[in-house]
Amino acid sequence: TWWQVSYTTGVSGWSAETYLTAASTSSTAPTSIANIPVGEWTAFETPSRNSGVYYGDEPYDGMKHVSMTVDPDNGRIYFEGGDYAGAAGFKESYQQETWSLDLAARLADTTNRNAGWRLEYPYCGPAGQVQPKHPDTVGWVWDSKRHVFWHVTGKDVPSLDLCPGETSGYAIDQPTATTGGFIPNHLMTFNPTTQKWTDVSSNIDGPYGNNWKSVYDPKTDTIIRFGVTGGSGAVASVYDIATNSWTDYGLGSTAQGSTAQISDGFAALDLADRIIYVMDPFHGRLMRYNMDAHTLTDLGPIPGGARGPTGFFETYIAWDSVSKVLLWFNSQGNSASPVSFYAYHPSTGTWETLSTAISGVPGVTTVTGRDLVYDPYDNVLLLGGDVEPVSPHYYFLYRYGNGSGTSPAPSPTPTPQPSTPAPTLSLSASPTTVSSGGSTTLTW
């Protein structure tokens, strides 16, 4: 629809063109961090206590078992569950709050250790709302269809650090008009836009083992979690979101004939090739899961071999989707391989030894960590955490390479769509410039 208006101005030199400006736009797309060097470790301080996922100011303030996943809509890394020192009264008690970190904002403000951190959901949530109850090792995956995080049951642990209305043990504490609700061992989702939790299902199928990590498959709209059962051995448990049902696929044995022990470590997703990498530390094997055939292939021994009686059992691996390599930080080591860092090249089936040395950080010569996540939008690996006695309070970043391609494009942020096409507006003036006492006609 066109409208016409006659406007008389009393301001000499007024120009209609001054006011004919385009609408401003904004974006929540991730901002890439360009100044991270290739093949070198860099560091930034952890946040202060109760200002983010903190550790290390005191030697007894550790951090482990926190699940970290990137929200591709806003580029922030979201942290869920695990053990670290929170607010006063809630010290390393299987933390119930949810934090997020903007890496670019943190690195841009080097003097503020709390820069970039944001509390997404408090330890004791609002009255009438629900949240997970004392999660430790849990799956924490991004659902690109619904634009939410899934909290997938792995291991919840009772605690005596309780909120109002919360009980110790595994009982469900329903929300009330004055207290929040606390739900253990359920499938739940967290919406980062509304900052609210939803209790989805009590159908958790086991879990079999710690089940720290899970994977979301956008092709089949399913969630995949690995475990070990007494009867079937290693299994891939696949949750169909639409039907709220699980299917367990037996995965057989390692090439040595042993049950693959793959429930305690990370699962590294190569979505382009529809492969998930897992590691069996007890037998020292790297395994590859085919997401379509539901089969497990033994790719051979890992550097240093099996863990031994006192070595590692949590395997910290991540798929670098830019450089097409599998990164493994072995923080606990064994007799043949102490704290170490590797890249596995699927194209050749070979391992590359990478450096753990870092310079320019007071009191630190070697990186440490008990947690990691690969951020494909910034093309960087984030490593953090330690156990008592804790090393100095730093998170570490590593960029393996620039790759042959580019990082994947972020998925668009969903926006409400109008039921009818949005109108457009075009504005013109004739004449476009008038003197005091003159007139102009605006047409739109």
Structure tokens at 147: 């634009």
> In the predicted model, is pLDDT for residue 146 greater than 70?
yes
321-338: pLDDT as tens digits: 999 999 999 986 544 556
The per-residue pLDDT for 206 is 78
**Better-scored residue on pLDDT, 22 or 180:** 180
Q: In this structure, are residues 291 and 305 in contact, taking their beta carbons and an 8 Å threshold?
A: no
Average pLDDT score over residue span 34-46: 93
CA neighbor of 18 nearest in space, from 349, 432, 436: 432
Q: State the pTM of this model.
A: 0.82
Q: In this structure, are residues 216 and 271 in contact, taking their beta carbons and an 8 Å threshold?
A: no
Range scoring the smallest mean pLDDT among 152-161, 178-187, 204-213, 347-356: 204-213
Phi/psi at 253 (nearest 5 deg)?
Answer: -115, 170
> In the predicted model, is pLDDT for residue 62 greater than 90?
no
> In the predicted model, is pLDDT for residue 179 greater than 80?
yes
Under 8 Å CB-to-CB from 137, ≥6 apart: which residues? Answer: 65, 67, 81, 82, 154, 155, 210, 211, 212
Q: How far is CA 64 from CA 59, 232, 348, in A?
A: 14, 30, 33
Task: Concatenate the DSSP letters of all residues of 418-437 into one string.
Answer: -SSPPP----EEESSB--TT
Radius of gyration for the alpha carbons in the chain, expressed in angstroms and rounded: 26
> Count of CB atoms within 10 A of residue 437's CB?
9
Report d(CA 358, CA 92) in Å as an integer: 28
Please give the class, per CATH, of domain 32-411.
mainly beta
Under 8 Å CB-to-CB from 280, ≥6 apart: which residues? Answer: 254, 260, 261, 262, 286, 287
HSE-up of residue 161 (Cα within 13 Å, Cβ side): 21
Beta strands 222-229 and 214-217 are antiparallel
- Sheet of 285-290, strands arranged across: 268-270, 275-280, 285-290, 295-301
The per-residue pLDDT for 250 is 93
Q: In this structure, are residues 278 and 264 in contact, taking their beta carbons and an 8 Å threshold?
A: no
The per-residue pLDDT for 437 is 63
Under 8 Å CB-to-CB from 369, ≥6 apart: which residues? Answer: 316, 329, 331, 383, 384, 385, 386, 396
The per-residue pLDDT for 389 is 74
Alpha-helical regions (H) of 11-116: 103-108
> In the predicted model, is pLDDT for residue 46 greater than 90?
yes
Structure tokens at 245: 């049902």
Peptide bond into 414 cis (omega under 30): no
The per-residue pLDDT for 305 is 85
Structure tokens at 162: 């309780």
Alpha-helical regions (H) of 73-209: 103-108
List the domain boundaries for the chain.
Answer: 32-411
220-245: pLDDT as tens digits: 999 999 988 877 789 999 999 999 99
Residue with tokens 């450096």: 355
The 3-state secondary structure of 190-245, one letter per residue: EECCCCEEEEEECCCCCCCCCCCCEEEECCCCEEEEEEEECCCEEEEEEEECCCCE
Q: Give the pLDDT band of residue 9 (cuts 50, 70, 90).
A: very low
406-418: pLDDT as tens digits: 334 434 444 444 4
CA neighbor of 102 nearest in space, from 179, 44, 160: 44
243-275: pLDDT as tens digits: 999 999 999 888 888 888 888 789 999 999 999
For residue 155, the SS3 value is coil
Residue with tokens 């699962």: 267
For residue 17, the SS3 value is helix
Q: In this structure, are residues 311 and 336 in contact, taking their beta carbons and an 8 Å threshold?
A: no
Q: How much of the chain exceeds pLDDT 90, in percent?
A: 56
